[in-house]
Structures are given as C-alpha cells and as structure tokens.
A and B are shown apart, each in its own frame.
Chain A
Amino acid sequence: MTDPIAATALRATRLGRRFRKGWALRDCGFDLPAGRITALVGPNGAGKSTLFHLATGLLRPTEGEIRVFGADPVTAEARDRTAFLSQDKPLYTGFTVAETLRFGRELNRSWDAATAERVVRAGNIPLDARVGTLSQGQRTRIALALAFAKRPDLLLLDEPLADLDPLVRIEVMGLVMAEVADRGITVVMSSHVLSELENVCDHVLLLAHGGVRLQGDAQQLCEDHLRLTGLADPSRKGGLPSGLDGVDVVESSVTGRQLTALLRTDGRPVDACADDRWVTDIPSLEDLLLAYLRSAPAATPSSDKEAAA
C-alpha cells in the first residue's frame, strides 16, 4: 500500500458531467490530499452528490476524469479502497442486521467482521432485527459499519448527519473520528452543518454552480483571509475603505452604519486596515465558508445589492 500521507487521494481534472437539465459539474479541477478530512461544501444543487457519484463510479463523467489514488473509480482497485455512504443511506429493509453484514462480507474482497460487529454492538442493535424496523440513527450506524468493515483508504460521506437528532449526530461523528484516528484514512464529507465541519475538517472544497469556488487547507485558507469591521465610509461605493486595490473582496455588507467585509489577502498586509477605524481579525472557518456561500450566486453580489440599496 502506498504511503497515505504523501499521496493525493482524489484528483479531478477538467471533470464535467451533464444531465438532461444541463451541466451538474463543469471544468472541475482539484487535488484532495490523502490522510485528511475534507469538507465538501456548497449550496443545494452545487454538484456535491454528483461529485460523490463520479468518485464512486456510479456515474461516468461526460468530460475530464476523476481518479481515486490514481485509479479510475470503476476499477476493482479503486472500488476496494473506497467506501461510500450515500445521502439516502440505502439498506435492504427486508434484511436482518446479520444478513446486512453478510452482504458486506460476500461482496468485498477484504472484510473486517470484527469491526462491523463492534460498531453494531456499540449501538445496542440486535443482530436479528430487520433493518426496516430500525431508527434512522441505527440505520446510519449499520451503514457506517458496512463502510468501516471494508477497511477503505478513502471514505466518502454524503450528508451523513442529515435527518439525525443532535445526540445521534455527535455519536456518528464520534464513530467517524475514532475510525480516522485508528487508521488515518482519508475522508471527504459533505454537510450543511458548517459548525460541525469546523471541528473536524482540515481541508476544504467548496463547490458552487457546478464549479470549484474554493479549495485548500482549512487553516491556511482562514489565514489568507481577513474579516474587516468598522464604520462604513459614506463617501465610497459599498462603504469600503480606500487602499483595497488588488485585494479580493469576497463579501461585504452594511448593517446600519456598520460594515463587515471578508477580504482575500493571501497573507499580504492591507494598508487600509492599518487605520484605527477598522478592526481586522482572522475569520473562523464557518465565517469564511458562509461568506463564500453567500457570495456564490455571482462574483460579488453582496456589494452590488448594497450599491443598489
């Protein structure tokens, strides 16, 4: 097995997929490093699920390519190294829990029965229970048991926390984190619950309108941005201070006379911010992602809106 730290786990090159309605993903390029936990973020319809389906070979790309540890997702090699938890967490409702685990054993080359049973037993789920009679949280646990027992190098989780109550969310995240700590696997996880991602993810891939809007190391991305607050400058469009030439304004909004803006500085000092009237700090990952999500529909819609008001 290759060293999981040095390698790229998931790489997309000019990846595109078109459906009858139009392009769900287009011209996507990214490298997700192995051994990291990547947050896949984007508004509904941004192409997150399509990306997961392309990465698992459930869908073939219309153009470009996607590689799992260098292999085409439809190859046996890639299939053996990938586990996927789909958003709807499908399981055979007529199977018992034991039969569901046998399904995993029969259909996988490597199978860690002890792990599967440990995960199931830790949730106090009887092995002879029918899957159809289990709660949503218990089903998620069964689906995770299947995914973990496969001993994957890449774990893809599409909205694993949706439809779960807060206690079960914590339990499920605990399961995933324990597995990550145990084996150092690569995880790509999509979620709308940004605050939960902030605690666990160290890499970010933000999609909007079928394209990559932001990607990189979570810590580095936060440090590359500045959050600016202060009194809006009424003499200037959007209330932003002067001296921001060459700085990318991700988002800015004015509430009353208070201006809040997120700037992409890439670590360079910004003259205008040296001024006492402005307070600058490094944004949290949640603030950063929210700013990008809000500004996703167009290049800088917030400032346009502000100018129009």
Chain B
Amino acid sequence: MKGTLWLAWRQQRTLILVGAALLVACAAWVAFQRADMMAYISDHHIDTANCKGWDGDCRGDAAYRLLQDTTGPLRALGSLSAALPVLIGVFWGAPLLGRELESGTWKLALTQGVGIRRWFLSRFSLALGCALVGSAVLAGLLVWWWEPVSNMLDGLYWHDGFIFNATGPAAVACAVFGLVAGTAAGLLLRRTVAAMGATLVAVAGLRVLLTAVRHDWVSPVVRRSQGDSARQYIGTAESAGDFGFIDRSGNLVHDAAACGWSPGLPDMKTCMAQKGFTGRFYAVYPTSDFWVFQWIETAIFLGLAAVLMALICVVLRRRVV
C-alpha cells in the first residue's frame, strides 16, 4: 500500500484485523449451527416450506423443538447485526477525525506533501469499505441461517427487530450512516470520547425513532370476512393491531370490543345482528411490506449520511484549527 492509503491502513489495521477475525469466527459459528439445523430438519422430515405463518401446516413437536433451539442463537446474531452500525460509528467513525484533532496529529499529516482531500478520502474510503463489507456479510449470514425457519410458527418473523433491523439494504445503509455520523461528530466535537457518546445517542436514537414511526408511512391491508364466519389466518403478515366490525354501509368500526363476549351477554352472532354489523375485519402489513419498509429506511439513512457528508466537506474545506 502506498501514500495516504498506507497511513489509513496503518492507523485502522487493529480495527480491521479484529473486525475480520470476529467476522470469520461468526461465519464459522453460523455455518456450523446452520448445518446442525438443516440436519435436524431433514432427520425429522419437517416440511419447512409449508410451515410458514402462525397456522403453518407442520405443527409437531419436532418443528417446535427446532424453533426453540434456533430462535435464541438467531436473536443473538440479529442483535449483533443490528448493533453493528452503532459499533462502527462509535469505534470507527468517531476516532476517524476526532482522535487526529484531539492529539494534533492532523497538523502533522496535513503539513506533509498531500492535500486534505486525499488524506480524508483515503481514511474514509477504507473505513467505508470495511463498514459495507462487515455489515453486508453479517446481514447475509443472518438471512442465510434464518431463511429455512423464517416466518414460521412461533419463530422469528420478518418484522421482528432481530430480523428487520439486522438484514436487508437498511442494515447496510444504517452502517454507512453510523460511520458518517461518527466521523462528523469527531470533526465537530474534536474529542474522541465526546464524539463516541454523541454517535451512540444519534445512531441508536434514530433506530429507535424509526422503529416507532415505521408503520405510519404505509397503510395496512384490510382483510374482511362475512358475518361471523371464520377469519382468514394472519399467516406471515404482521398485525397492524386494528380489529373491528363492518357496518351495513361498509364502514369500518374500529372497536374490537363492540361485540365482546362475557357471561350474560348475547353471543357474537346475535350481537352483530343487533348492532347491524355485516362482517368483521382486521388490518395487516403483508410480508411483501418488508421491502417497502426496508427501502424507506435505506433512503432515510443514506439521505442523512449524504447531508452529514456535505457538512464534513464544508468544515474540512474551511479548516478549523
């Protein structure tokens, strides 16, 4: 390696080597666990393809044992993958400029023969490449392992935080955002530890915020059923928590307790007739909404990263001593 890239490698090699070692260990563990899981599935003839949803057609002890054994480790890997953007931001982004500014070594680097642009681009590109590879590999490992038992019985579903926040393009975009947020915090605060704290709050805070408001951006699909006939099973969809009845003019009555049952009350059929309800409904986010949510959050993470990157460039151009 030459020039500023050598400097970037020399300064980040501990992070890169430790990260690579952890990633390899993770991959080995996942490969072993997944092989174990696949052997169990074939030994017990579990038809995972027909097993999707809460009402999956494979309800036997073996299938529940399978999920009992795999959900815990999958959650652990999901937690690691979901936390990766925060870890990258705190331990890679914040010191990227913060430590240089704090120790004054940026003055040494920038008074050699290279300009500020090359110096910054080398170190940032190396970190960005590692963040992309690391987050994509971890998300890929999780999907590879989870796929055979995905959206199955009482296992992990696409909308669980352990899966949604840990896989897909949004997980990689969040890692990019984490790195850029950490870099910007280091540049603006000029203290590594303070930048680490700010990055932790910013990245974790944005994740929590997005999880809280995620469902407001997409309207759920309403599933209707006639009279008191059995409703369609929820399957692999995510409940929007909206249940109720349909009146004669076809309006939705968002009150699941309108015809509740307790001793002394008429049964549901009588109650519905009395109140003039013609059917029931419930709202869900279908499985395909995974990609809608994913692309919305990918756009938010990358958009914010672009704004922060522009800020970094402006501040670097002005060169604040």
A53 touches B321 (CB 8 A): yes
**Is B108 touching A91 in the complex (CB atoms < 8 A)?**
yes
Closest Cβ of chain A: how far from B3's Cβ, in Å? 5
Q: Which of B105, B114, B321 contacts A58 (CB 8 A)?
A: B321
Hey, which chain B residues are within 8 Å of A110, CB to CB?
Answer: 113
Distance (whole angstroms) from the CB of A101 to the closest CB of chain B: 12
Q: Please pick, from A82, A102, A103, the residue contacting B111 in the complex, using a CB distance under 8 A.
A: A82
In the complex, A62→B109 CA distance in Å? Answer: 23
User: Across the two chains, which residue of chain B brings its CB closest to A156?
Assistant: B111
A106 touches B111 (CB 8 A): no
Q: In the complex the two chains form, is B110's CB within 8 Å of A91's CB?
A: no
Once the chains are docked, how many angstroms separate the CA of A40 from the CA of B300?
52
The smallest beta-carbon distance between A177 and chain B, in angstroms, is 22
A300 to B113 CA separation, bound complex (whole angstroms): 45
Shortest beta-carbon distance from B29 to chain A in Å: 31
Asked if A60 contacts B319 (CB within 8 A), the reply is yes
Within 8 A of A (CB), among B1-44: 2-4, 6-7, 10-11
Q: Is A1 an interface position by the 8 A CB rule?
A: no
Give the shortest distance, in Å, between B5 (CB) and chain A (any CB). 9
Main secondary structure of the interface of B (DSSP, over half): helix
Q: How far apart sit A92 and B112, CA to CA, in the bound complex (Å)?
A: 14
Establish whether residues A92 and B113, one from each chain, have CB atoms under 8 Å apart when the complex forms. no
In A65-109, the 8 Å CB interface with B consists of 74, 76, 79-80, 82-84, 86, 88, 90-93, 95, 99, 102-104, 106-109
Q: Does B103 contact A (CB under 8 A)?
A: yes
A107 touches B318 (CB 8 A): no
A108→B177 CA distance, assembly (Å): 33
Q: Which residue of A lies closest to B103 (CB)?
A: A90
On chain B, the number of residues with a Cβ less than 8 Å from chain A's Cβ atoms is 25
Q: B112 contacts A150, CB within 8 Å?
A: yes
Query: For the complex, what is the distance from the CA of A74 to the CA of B111, rounded to whole Å?
Result: 9
Find out whether the CB atom of B6 lies under 8 angstroms from the CB atom of A106. Answer: yes
The interface residues of chain A lying within 8 Å CB-to-CB of B4 are 106-107
A191 sits at the interface (CB 8 A) = no
Contact residues in B for A95 (Cβ distance below 8 Å): 10
**Other 14 A-B pairs with CB < 8 A, given A106-B4, A107-B112, A107-B114:** A58-B107, A58-B319, A58-B321, A59-B320, A79-B112, A79-B115, A84-B107, A86-B108, A90-B104, A90-B107, A92-B105, A102-B6, A107-B113, A110-B113
